[in-house]
Structure 1
Amino acid sequence: MSGAALVALLAGTAACGPFGSDDEKAAADGPSFTVAAAGDILIHPQLTEQAAKDAKATGKGEKGLDFDPLMAGIKPVISKADLAICHFEPVAGKPEGPFESYPAFRVPPQIATSIKNVGYDTCSTASNHTLDHGVGGVTNTLNVLDKAGLKHTGSARSAAEAAKPLIVDVKGVKVAQLSYAFGFNGNEVPKDKPWLVNQTDFDRIAAAEKRAREAGADVVILSIHWGRENQPNPSSSQLKLGRQIAEKTGIDLVIGHHAHVVQPMEKVDGTWIAYGLGNEVARHDVPTGLTEEGVIGWFEFTKRGGEWDVRAKYLPTLTEIPPEPDESGKLPAGAVTDHRLLDVAAALRDDKDLSAQRRARYRLAFERTEGTMLNRGASKDGLVPLKSLPQ
């Protein structure tokens, strides 16, 4: 895309406002609603340590952990959506621990409360880590999400629960969510509990959409755990399956996870596919820069002429990571001291005290995410940032 074209796109976005214009709403002849969806939520030990530090400062949380400050930066956006969808990748443990990291996650359940507090409504739970701790891990995770007030789909505690489509009323529109994963890190789905977690298969996905429609769904959204880790480009299998879904089912939106880095969006046969939303929040042992960057997909559904028109936008995010202390135990001058999840555009706009180094890092996160989002030609189908990059 030329610089002039990109400037025009950004200017157009700024003119209509980040959450859609009144003119667009007036042009609709049916209902409309917005969906926000973000990437993998993985709680590594450093984030649990941050929650313990924050609990001491806030006096809030449960069992000495408060994840609200970590997540607060995205609340103004997530809470604005009519439907906000998270991807809960790990297994939830008990509030007091013990907790485990890679390769078999068992994370503080307190994170679910913070996911709810920033405005999420529902979470997909089918991932390669779903079976890290067997049937008990699945059961506890879903109990934790229930307690937090989060709806969920992708794994189940019974055959009856698995068979019932998740359908949410969103401004009078019945929206179904499906969730599937490619595999489970060598853990087998129990033969006597084939319903425990959804494993990716085109025919299964198509059948699940049909069941959701029969149960009254007006819109069907698929959350799918797929692709190759740490690869910004979608794999050939992602592209093939994405096209199959777009061309041979009525699924209205595909939301991808697993790569831990941002992958592009693309409109295929009228259906938006977000191949990979990166990490919503994580702290890998070896941060790469890309693993701290994520994106919130923002989708505006409007009924026009009896059909759903879906317009896509994106919001770059960044998980700030404090640097390692020097030999004396001190951090470099001006360094961040806490892990924080940021709306990059908002941080650039609102924090007037940013150092030149941090400002440059934020701009890099925004521009790199923007380049990835658009590298399969999505600009021609109207993909624009939810908020423009401040100058």
Structure 2
Amino acid sequence: MDDEPAKRVLPVLARALAVSFVPAVLALGLAWLPTMAVLPALLPGGLAGGLVGPPRVAGPADSITIAAAGDLLVHPELTAQAAADAGRPDAYDFTKVLAGVAPRIRAADLGICHMETPLAERGGPFTGYPIFSVPPELADAAADAGFDTCSTASNHSLDTGMAGIARTLDNLDRVGIRHTGTARSAVEAAKPTILAVRGVKVAQLSYTFSFNGLSREPGKEWSANLLSTEAVLAGTRQARSAGAEIVVVSLHWGTEYQNEADEGQLGIARELLASPDIDLIVGHHVHVVQPFEKIGDKWVAYGLGNLTTRFPDGSPENTQDAVVAEFTFARVGPGRWKATSASAVPTFMQYQPAARVVDLPAALRSSPASEREDWGRIHRRIVGYLDLLGARQAGLRIDGQS
């Protein structure tokens, strides 16, 4: 019982000290703050760098890079390759197919893909032309390769109906890839796809010229975007109103297996790029490489070819050729951006000994001399297609071209 008084007195003393002593310490600390704020400027660089200060808040970037690749097209032969690469029952691995081009996509601030065909249920059934339904593991490989957003409006969007649209978008959501062009609901369709890219708001929109004779369900016309200049311009105005600073439009258009841009593409490109709301057009569908063109101070890549494919017929139409388009956008004023550089990376879908995307410039630099001749021939062919409308003179750089 002798220590009971102490137990009662000590808390009282502690409170007294807190009331008198702690404020004094705080006041002293506050008095030192101005000195601490300027101290780093008075110290040598090495010492100042070791001080812990408030975090620096970085503003939006003044330039960003965008990489857009060709169609992700999967025939049964490519599904068989993915099964072989997975090496276990009922599994499909497309990462090895895309590994050759993945460093290019990952290096960009924004990677854009085009999902040509609907994704199936895990385990299938999987089908090819004319009604496609392909392994959902394709989405996993696209994410692994570095793609951030994917256009989904194509002439195969309706191949498996609303269920196929939902599966495709559900799988892209699952792997963290944004999407545009098809929708699961009217609410989703009405919301522009806008990504924050190093603090810069970039919108992607997607439209297709056809659904191969299939029709959208009555009352669900919002499920897939049909191409018209009016629809595109309305969509891009909405994206701008929602805060987009750069607007990229992905178009599924053109004449299949034709390397020249057709009259419809040429006319639509000029009409759309005359709008201040559109900064870049990238094209898909024709399964071969088409030219780039600079219209005013904006670029259009009419056709990027097939990033992935495995036709069973040997591809006499150069359907193994493709290109990764790379654009640098720089800030030229408040809310105003301009593509200050454009470059192209020719790629090739090699079939044997295994289906693999080949980065042609990298292959030219690293392959044995016995292989470089073939890679060089394919590279020169693609360069010729890219330059059909004078893109090189307008400033297009083509990797691997001296």
The answer to whether the superposition gives a TM-score over 0.5 is: yes
Q: Who is 1:338 aligned against? A: 354
Structure 2 distance, partners of 1:78, 1:289, is 26
Greater mean alpha carbon deviation, residues 153-162 or residues 182-191 = 182-191
CA shift, 1:360, in A, is: 2.5
Q: Which residues of 2 match residues 193-212 of structure 1 at below 5 A?
A: 193-212=220-239
* One-letter amino acid of the structure 2 residue matched with residue 319 of structure 1: M
Shift of the alpha carbon at 1:194?
1.2
The residue that corresponds to 2:395 in the other structure is 382
Equivalent residue runs for 1:19-98 within 5 Å: 31-56=62-87, 63-98=90-125
Please give the per-residue CA displacement for 1:24-70, whole angstroms capped at 9, x wherever unaligned.
xxxxx9710000001111111111111111112xx7xx932111111
Distance 2:387 2:277 in 1: 24
- 1:161 deviation in Å? 0.1
Matched ranges for 1:61-210 at <5 A: 63-210=90-237
Kindly provide the CA deviation profile for residues 84-118 of structure 1, in whole angstroms up to 9, marking residues without a partner as x: 00000101001211100000100000111001001
The one-letter code matched in structure 2 to 1:388 is G
Residue 365 of structure 2 corresponds to 349
- How far the C-alpha of 1:249 sits from its partner, in A, is 4.5
Give distance in 2, aligned partners of 1:248 and 1:70: 38
Q: Supply the distance in 2 between the matched residues of 1:55 and 1:347 (Cα, whole angstroms).
A: 25
- Number of paired residues? 340
Code of the aligned partner of 1:315: V
RMSD of Structure 2 on Structure 1 (CA):
1.6
Cα deviation for residue 380 of structure 1 reads 2.3
TM norm structure 2: 0.82
Letter aligned with residue 327 of structure 2: F
Structure 1 residue 365 corresponds to structure 2 residue 395: no
Deviation at 1:215, TM superposition (A): 0.5
CA distance in 2, matches of 1:289, 1:179: 26
- Structure 1 Cα separation of the partners of residues 317 and 348 of structure 2: 9
Instruction: Supply the distance in 1 between the matched residues of 2:309 and 2:102 (Cα, whole angstroms).
Output: 17
- 1:75 and 1:89 map into 2 onto residues whose CA distance is 19
TM-score (normalised: structure 1): 0.84
Determine the C-alpha separation between the residues in 2 that align with 1:223 and 1:294.
16
CA contact (8 A) 2:61 2:198 kept: no
SS class of match (2:330):
strand
**Letter of the 2:384 counterpart:** G
Q: 2:332 aligns with which of 282, 286, 304?
A: 304
120-129 or 338-347: bigger deviation: 338-347
**1:13 alignment counterpart:** none
Residues 317-354 of structure 1, C-alpha deviation per residue, up to 9 Å, x if partnerless? 001012xxxxxxxxxxxxxx1111110111221233x6
Stretches (4+) displaced over 3 A: none
Task: Give the match's secondary structure for 2:343.
Answer: strand
| Further displaced range: 249-258 or 162-171 | 249-258
Taking the aligned partners of 2:188 and 2:273, their CA distance within structure 1 comes to 27
SS at match of 2:223: coil
Secondary structure of the structure 2 residue equivalent to 1:117: helix
Deviation at residue 271 of structure 1 after TM alignment: 1.5
SS of 2:99's partner is helix
Q: Distance in 2 between matches of 1:338 and 1:30?
A: 40
Specify the SS of the correspondent of 1:248. Answer: coil
Q: What secondary structure, in the 3-state scheme, does the structure 1 residue paired with 2:243 have?
A: coil
TM-aligned CA deviation for residue 190 of structure 1 = 1.6
SS of corresponding position for 2:393: helix
Query: Which residue number corresponds to residue 281 of structure 1?
Result: 308
Larger-Rg structure:
2
Cα distance, 1:185–1:249 mapped onto 2, change above 3 Å: farther
Q: Which runs of 5+ in 2 are unaligned?
A: 1-59
Contact kept in structure 2, 1:206 and 1:249, CA below 8 Å: no
1: distance between equivalents of 2:359 and 2:77? 21
What whole-Å deviation, never above 9, does each CA across 1:161-192 have from its counterpart, x for those lacking one? 00000000011110000000001000012221
**Alignment CA distance shift 1:163-1:370 (3 Å):** same
Once residues 152 and 216 of structure 2 are traced to their aligned partners in structure 1, the CA distance between those partners, rounded to angstroms, is 15
Whichever residue aligns with residue 294 of structure 1, its letter is A
* Among candidates 250, 261, 283, match of residue 256 of structure 1: 283
Identity of aligned residues (%): 44
Q: Aligned-pair distance for 1:316?
A: 0.2
Structure 1 residue 320 corresponds to structure 2 residue 350: yes
- Distance in 2, matches of 1:85 and 1:65, equals 22
Instruction: Tell me the CA shift for residue 284 of structure 1.
Output: 1.6
Larger displacement relative to structure 2 (221-230 or 137-146): 137-146
